Amino acid sequence: MPLSDSDPADQHDIWTRVITVGKHWNADGTLHNAAFSGRNVIAEADQARRHWSHELSGDLLSLIPNLRLHSEGFCARWRQEFHGTMFQTVENLRTDGSGDSHQSPFPTDVRYTPREDNKSHSDFVTFGTTDDHKKEIRDWLQEMIQAVKPEKLSAICSLRLTPNFPAKST
Is 128 within a domain? yes
Give the count of domains, the chain: 1
CA distance 6 to 73: 24
Is 166 within a domain? no
pLDDT tens, residue order, the chain (170 aa): 689 999 999 999 999 999 999 999 999 989 998 898 876 689 999 988 999 999 999 999 999 999 999 999 999 999 999 999 999 999 999 999 988 877 889 999 999 999 999 999 999 999 999 999 999 999 999 999 999 999 999 999 999 999 999 987 55
Query: CA quadruple 60, 64, 70, 71: dihedral positive or negative?
Result: positive
CA distance 17 to 26: 17
Q: 8 with 109: CB under 8 angstroms?
A: yes
Is 116 within a domain? yes
Is 15 within a domain? no
CA distance 94 to 124: 9
Global confidence as pTM: 0.94
CA distance readout (Å), 134 to 17, 36, 58, 81: 18, 9, 17, 26
Structural domain range at position 63? 24-161
